[in-house]
Chain A
Amino acid sequence: DQQVKQNSPSLSVQEGRISILNCDYTNSMFDYFLWYKKYPAEGPTFLISISSIKDKNEDGRFTVFLNKSAKHLSLHIVPSQPGDSAVYFCAATPGNAGNMLTFGGGTRLMVKP
């Protein structure tokens, strides 16, 4: 039973355009959500997070949107750059520090020059 799902295994976007990566979850206990970026042969790198008390969090080119009623979050990257090409994982946790992260299966983003 996958509690965090990323339904698009891959996404291809032209440089300069917006990339939108989606994530759905089923566990209503999840209270804090994170996005990680992973390059080949490297560990995941923390990108941006959002608490369930917010519906949007922005950091430079990256914005995460949370729709708690729909149990859906998305990561927007604008403008997309070739260096953004990587696998993106969304993760969720009940929000108590020390809880393990539950990850989605990842979406491979390819940004074409």
Chain B
Amino acid sequence: GAGVSQSPSNKVTEKGKDVELRCDPISGHTALYWYRQRLGQGLEFLIYFQGNSAPDKSGLPSDRFSAERTGESVSTLTIQRTQQEDSAVYLCASSPQLALEQYFGPGTRLTVT
């Protein structure tokens, strides 16, 4: 079946602008995660959604970052007033309930100029 998809694949924005990144998880996966990967570094957890429970926002680096998820489907990650340090690849992952393995999308490469 279809994997996790993300859009756009690349986004270049000017410092101070808002951006919205989209994730479509694998159908039936109840858990959805956002991570980011800065150049040359490992993946850094941002936020986690599980069904209708309150999201775990403990990884969000500042209040400029927010995310929403509609039921058990699409999620959007919004970064307001982007800064150059926000430049990274933003990765979305999903997993079935009670599973530990996460399945990743191809990522959105965000460049803030």
Contact = CB atoms under 8 A, between A and B. Distances in A.
Contacts of B107: 42-43
Interface stretch (A11-19, A57-65, A78-86, A90-98): A90-98
- Assign chain B's interface to a size class: 20 to 34
Contacts of B99: 97
Interface string A38-56: 0001111110010000000
Contacts of A6: 42
A43 B104 contact: yes
B41 A34 contact: no
A89 B89 CA distance: 15
Nearest to B48: A100
B105 interface: yes
B2 to A, nearest CB: 14
Contact of B100 (A36, A43, A97): A97
Could you say which of B33, B98, B100, B107 has the most chain A C-beta atoms within 10 Å of its C-beta? B100
Interface in A83-113: 89, 91, 93, 95, 97-98, 100-106
A79 to B, nearest CB: 25
Given A41-B106, A100-B48, A106 B59 contact: no
Nearest to A6: B42
Contact of A46 (B40, B103, B106): B103
B42 A93 contact: no
B110 interface: no
B91 A102 contact: no
B31 A98 contact: yes
B97 interface: yes
A32 B100 contact: yes
Contacts of A93: 100
Interface of B: 4, 31, 33, 35, 40-45, 48, 50, 56, 59, 91, 93, 95, 97-107
Closest 10 CB pairs of A and B: A43-B104, A103-B42, A100-B45, A103-B43, A105-B42, A97-B98, A44-B104, A46-B101, A43-B106, A98-B50
10 contacts: A4-B42, A32-B100, A42-B107, A43-B106, A93-B100, A97-B98, A97-B99, A100-B48, A100-B59, A106-B42
